[in-house]
Structure 1
């Protein structure tokens, strides 16, 4: 069955999660981040994911903004920046306007032009996603922006992936699911979606029961995988 709906994870897939720390490190006020921002960004993201998994399996849901703040606090302490409220405030503000990867707009535009449905499916809260999409200027080339908040559990719970079927009335075989997170791709594959892992860091494939059907270094060839050859 041909692909009718392309579904994208947001953070790390469309939006660069390291951008907040990288941008803050360029600002004179936060010169302390000059050498430590890569570690800060990595720890921030790691704890962000770990906290969502733990909350999902313990039925202790909170929204992604709370998780983002808590994981940043851990990362700041880990990298020696605890007790710096202005730095914390700036990093959190920058997270609301993360930079998209350079190929995102063109790729989504090609899908839209070909008549395919495009949507985000994310752990992010609705307000966070709205801000990120608007900041990236891609609001007019997305048909949807689905948040886990409607089911109150984080990925990779199957209820999250089922939001796509409910919203677009499509079968699982009509969906191309794209994520930079191997565990997210595994969850989507287990649910029944066609999957693409965007492996920007050239990492090994996760040892899980489900593996990605395709692996790409970036998003440029997503239209081809969706059957578009313009």
Structure 2
């Protein structure tokens, strides 16, 4: 893990697919339908899904003439992938795989870490504003990921359309954990379009650098870094860094690494505020 910023973030925004939700959770069903080809289908399906979002946004040149909801693109990508792999995709198989995609499993570390961040925010909001207030042991544990300062707000910012995200969040047991669930459908432009990332700054009334953006997708982290976010690459696949001349502010293999990164930012931010306060304090002669 590395950090090159000393900000205490106002918000932590998560990509959804591949970051919180396991897009390859469909492999088991695909393998049952197409024995020996499930993994290949899942990998190509994901690749074409991302390609189609980027192609449609690039082709729009400032408009939205070629925009289609993410659910439609996901279906198009599945159909192409089946044809490319010479697999016969009947209506029953197609429906089953799309139903699987609608309710993707969350990564095992996602929900516990989100609860930790959300609990920290709840504890901070309910704590009396008293200098002598004692801190319960449970509160100290809950805020381990964001030690010091106000805990950040939480959001999802995803290519997924609102209906997809609503089902995915509920089925993964994440209801109530986010301040905002943001869909690029609102601007009809897919990431890494700046208009898509701007949904996050608008939601929290914050500057890009005041927000930590978390994604497992290297291209997404690059786009978010270019936009100005403080970025954390949740490198779940142990992939190499994209050759785009962009380095995320933090990297790690799991959500525990993200919590440690946020703690580093919070500690550095607290130290910076203390130093600034000290520099403003007048000193008496001879002191």
TM-score, L = length of structure 2: 0.75
Q: How does 1:67-216 map to 2 (within 5 A)?
A: 67-115=73-121, 116-216=152-252
- Which residue of 1 is the match for residue 124 of structure 2? none
Q: Which runs of 5+ in 1 are unaligned?
A: none
Which whole-Å CA distance do the structure 1 matches of 2:161 and 2:192 have between them?
16
Whose RCO is larger (CA < 8 A, sep 6+)? 2
How far apart, CA to CA, are the structure 2 residues paired with 1:83 and 1:122? 28
Would you say how many aligned residue pairs link Structure 1 and Structure 2?
Answer: 224
CA-CA distance at 1:78 after TM superposition: 2.1
C-alpha contact 1:69 1:92 (8 A) present in aligned 2: yes
CA distance in 2 between partners of 1:147 and 1:153 (Å) = 10
Shift of 1:24: 4.4
> Hey, what's the Cα distance between the residues in 1 that align with 2:259 and 2:116?
7
Higher mean Cα deviation, 74-83 or 161-170? 74-83
For the pair shown, the structure with the greater C-alpha radius of gyration is 2
Question: 3-state DSSP class of the match of 1:226?
Answer: helix
Is contact 1:73–1:82 with CA below 8 Å preserved after alignment?
no
Contact 2:53/2:73, CA 8 A, preserved across alignment: yes
The residue aligned with 1:221 is: 257
Q: CA RMSD in A?
A: 1.5
Change (3 A) 1:83 1:107: closer
- Preserved CA contact (<8 Å) 1:15 1:101: yes
Contact 1:180/1:198 (8 A) holds in 2:
yes
Shift, 1:210, TM fit: 2.0
d(CA) in 1 for partners of 2:115, 2:74: 30
Give the CA deviation at 1:157: 0.5
Q: Note the C-alpha offset of 1:122.
A: 0.4
Q: How many angstroms apart in 2 are the aligned matches of 1:4 and 1:109?
A: 17
- Asked whether 1:37 is paired with 2:73, we answer no
Judge conservation of contact 1:198–1:217 (CA < 8 Å) in 2. yes
Contact 2:30/2:37, CA 8 A, preserved across alignment:
no
* Contact 1:173–1:192, Cα closer than 8 Å, also in 2: yes
The residue matched to 1:178 in structure 2 has which SS? strand
Superposed counterparts of 1:8-27, under 5 Å: 8-26=14-32
Q: C-alpha separation between the residues in 1 aligned to 2:208 and 2:86?
A: 46
